Amino acid sequence: MSKYEKCRLATKGIFAGLASLVAFACAAPVATSQSSGVTTAAYAEPSQDNLLSEKTVKVSAHVWAIMGWPNIGIIVGENATLVVDTGLGQRNGAIVAKVARELAPNHRLYLTTTHFHPEHAGGVLGFPPGTLLIRNQVQQDEMDRHGEEMIQRFASMKESWKALLPGEQLRAPDETFERELRLNLGGGVTARLLWFGAAHTKGDQLVFVDPDKTLISGDVVQNKVGPFIFGEGGTAASWIAAVDETAKLGAAHVLPDHSPVGDGSLVQQERSFLVEVRDRALALQRQGQSAEQAGRQITAEFKTKYPDWKIDDLTNFVKAAYAE
């Protein structure tokens, strides 16, 4: 039995939406890629059971990444460092914080999260006292409503995850923002924390780094991974709108959270795929097919049409298109 099949079985019958989320996170990644001439290390299939590595790859002049589950972004300016995402639980958070300190000792440390799911935000307490936690208000609202519930559900799904999620894992942010917050990290390095609307979740957040033109895209833009709208998250239209806003940034490098680094073309690639799925769904809706029927048909069609993509099940994105 493959690792992917085991992961699917582990989630069966525990909360359908969460099961699909974990299937997405267990996705086998696609091939090694380059980001505008910066070659990353080979993107080996990340293990959801092991701790994050302390190894980093350089994405651009001021951005490093720990490639794993999820990919962690570390932006280093002259005076301060921003970490994007924590890993699952305090032990992973402590590893990420240690790596950030080794890259830039004695810097002021900032932390932000791309969305409220535990492998992205459940390691906050592993960071040292004095770390300034910032996230957008929509994401924080999701965290307040569902953060502890999601941690408990992840802990109930696998013993290895339970071991990483003992007790309290969350704390209140030091600062929230509405649509954009700019962090001056020193030496001309600026990190723009951005909320462009709901996509995978309501509070999906991106980070854009100047002068590198590097986008840390969370789930909003992936590298050949089919979209999944979780729970109360976005709609087909809102996800496409978020990608349209992202395109205006003019990224040269893109670090997604569950797929390999790529160049700025990933943004248009994401948009084209989303629009194609939505338009196909609407065509089948006009023909009288149910959303479930259309979802199954489109999933099969796109798996054939895009064999190098990781496509689990497009039904919930199709349902979102039908509902608009």
Mean of pLDDT values over 16-45: 47
Let me know if residue 238 belongs to a domain. Answer: yes
Mean of pLDDT values over 101-112: 97
Q: What local confidence, expressed as pLDDT, does residue 232 receive?
A: 87
Rounded to whole angstroms, the Cα distance separating 140 from 175 reads 10
Distance of alpha carbon 39 from its chain centroid, rounded?
Answer: 21
Q: Classify burial at 148, counting beta carbons within 10 Å of its beta carbon; exposed 0-12, middle 13-18, buried 19 or more.
A: middle
Domain span at 17:
3-264
Lowest mean pLDDT among 23-27, 233-237, 270-274: 23-27
Let me know if residue 93 belongs to a domain. Answer: yes
| pLDDT tens string 290-320 | 999 999 999 999 999 999 999 999 999 999 9
| pLDDT tens string 205-263 | 999 999 999 999 999 999 999 999 998 899 999 999 999 999 999 999 999 999 999 99
Mean of pLDDT values over 110-123: 97
Rounded to whole angstroms, the Cα distance separating 189 from 75 reads 9
Report how many domains make up the chain.
Answer: 1
The H or E element containing residue 149 is helix 137-157
The dihedral sign for the CA sequence 199, 204, 210, 212: negative
- Amino acid found at 69: W
Let me know if residue 277 belongs to a domain. Answer: no
Six-digit token string for 139: 């994401």
DSSP state of 225: B
Let me know if residue 289 belongs to a domain. Answer: no
Let me know if residue 154 belongs to a domain. Answer: yes
Task: Using alpha carbons, select from 58, 57, 47 the residue that is nearest to residue 87.
Answer: 47
CATH number of 238's domain: 3.60.15.10
Residue 14 CB neighbours (<10 A): 13
Q: What local confidence, expressed as pLDDT, does residue 49 receive?
A: 76
Let me know if residue 208 belongs to a domain. Answer: yes
DSSP state of 181: E
